[in-house]
Amino acid sequence: MTSRPDLPVVLIAEELSPATVAALGPGFDVRRFDGDDREALLAALPEADALLVRSGTRVDAEALGLAPRLRVVARAGVGLENVDVRAATHAGVMVVNAPTANVVSAAELAVALLLAAARQISPAHASLQRREWDRQRFTGTELAGKTVGILGLGRIGVLVAQRLAAFGMTVIAHDPYVQAGRAAQMGVRMVGLAELMRESDAVSVHLPRTAETVGLIGAAQFALARPGLLLVNAARGGIVDEAALFDALKEGRVRAAGLDVFEAEPAVDSPLLDLDNVVATPHLGASTFEAQEKAGLAAARSVRLALSGELVPDAVNVQGGSIAEDIRPGIPLVEKLGRIFTALAGEVAHQIDVEVRGEIADHDVKVLELAALKGVFADVVNDQVSYVNAPLLAAERGVEVRLLTDPESPDHRNLITLRGTLGDGSSVSVSGTLVGLAQRERLVEVEGFGVDLEPSEHLAFLRYEDRPGVVGVVGGILGEAGVNIGGMQVSRDRKGGQALVALSVDSAVPAEVLEQIRVAIRAERVRAIDL
């Protein structure tokens, strides 16, 4: 293809449909090459304004460092495992993907796995391939009249609920970040996790994988289940404890399982694959012609918007359009504050205030409200959260959001606070600021306690009654668990009153270690957050 030096250069690194290329529209110098050829990628990047990839092209710090003109990397798919989003953000490069392209495909696969598990499709098919005609062995169970528990009522969970309701199933759900009234409008009854396990004939998982959801369904939950439970996981591996699932399948407490995802992939050595009552697929949730086409078209539209300087709905790291330079450095901090807020709350807040104080309040700070909401919902829905859909997610959950500004900030040049009211009337708050010429991120307040802590990748917060010896106990337990403390802040409202320990640690704190700490120090609340 002939180069056009007067036009923005769009590199296409992997095979995309003609419709995807057409969606870019005129006015671009489109160049194709093989993204698996590392030398070709690095050679082409210095002239690139945009890069379109699928999953095979590795876009890392080295590649981004050779692309001074690059403004956007677009992944024609849902995941971003092959794109270093942090390095792109530091380089000022927008990263986009196609978060909604696969929602229908993923929902349909979950339903297909449930049907296949209920009717023993996989072992019956294998038997017939062996030229056996054994109808007696493969008696199944109907879905009509049964109860299905949806674990995670995000976009895909809702689609699955709608489809299974059409089968005549009663739908219940567990999702602490969806209010009961919203679910009732869809004909879904919200319940606790234990109740969901006790009442369901089938459970379908549609949660994101976070520190709180890893191992969420384990031996204790299977012990609550009705004998003969059908289990489907087409969301993320690791949410279901695979060893516990194996035992439950062998014991018959779980009648059958349909799995599209695993703790470690490729999962060709998983012992679950040896069981006749498991139907499994190799992570095919997005693998339909329609989903791939939607993903390509969405990525092309995002490139067009990004290169024209417009708002890009599917941006995962920076917003398109005009944002004051004084505000840009605070956007990643505010997203982190949103994620910390959600972890502290442990549920959906009825009201969230985003308070912006100081010099930046003189600018249009709407983007900080959007960044806060993006962070609030990032770890609680199984869909990508963007600057465009974050307010919609809040509205769907009945969350009232207010943006408050004040040019006065007594203690900091600029201060951003997220403050929310929970269902029981209690409140949660977290504040942050940027300090020094390097604009370093700092947490300066958590739940009303003053702190001074970098919001590092792994954090933990412990709320307890002030008394001697607690810090030593915490350090000892973490040390025995091999978790190294990078920073620690202890704050209290008064001597002998309420106290808070804020920790930054070098690795994630396992759930069992958190529970050990909670018991040992008689903590009112313990929370771990992985940013």
CATH assignment, 456-531: 3.30.70.260
Average pLDDT of span 205-212: 87
Whether 74 shows a pLDDT value over 90: the answer reads: yes
**CB of 155 closer than 8 Å to CB of 381:** yes
Which residues neighbour 203 within 8 Å (Cβ) at sequence distance 6 or greater?
A: 148, 149, 151, 196, 197, 217, 225, 229, 230, 231, 232
Alpha helices for 266-406 (secondary structure H): 289-307, 330-345, 366-378, 390-396
Mean pLDDT confidence for 237-245: 96
Structure-block tokens of residue 396: 């769907």
> Do the beta carbons of residue 398 and residue 181 sit within 8 Å?
yes
Tokens 């465009």 identify what position?
A: 388
- Are 1-98+286-321 and 103-280 the same fold in CATH? yes
Secondary structure (3-state) at 69:
coil
What are the catalytic residues? 236, 265, 283
The domain ranges of the chain are 1-98+286-321, 103-280, 324-434, 456-531
Model pLDDT for residues 167-179, shown as the tens digit of each residue: 999 999 999 888 7
- Has residue 1 got a pLDDT over 70? no
Topology, domain 324-434: 60s Ribosomal Protein L30; Chain: A; (3.30.1330)
Q: Looking at 458-530, which runs of residues are DSSP E strands?
A: 458-465, 485-492, 498-505, 525-530
Q: Average pLDDT for residues 316-342, to the nearest whole number?
A: 79
% of the chain beyond a pLDDT of 90:
56
Please state, in angstroms and rounded to a whole number, the distance separating the CA atoms of residues 83 and 56.
Answer: 10
Per CATH, domain 1-98+286-321 is 3.40.50.1240 = no
Q: Which CATH architecture has domain 103-280?
A: 3-Layer(aba) Sandwich (3.40)
Q: What would the pLDDT profile of 486-522 be if each residue is shown by its tens digit?
A: 888 898 888 888 889 989 999 989 888 999 999 999 9
Residue range 391-437, pLDDT digits in tens? 888 888 888 999 999 999 888 989 999 999 888 888 899 999 998 87
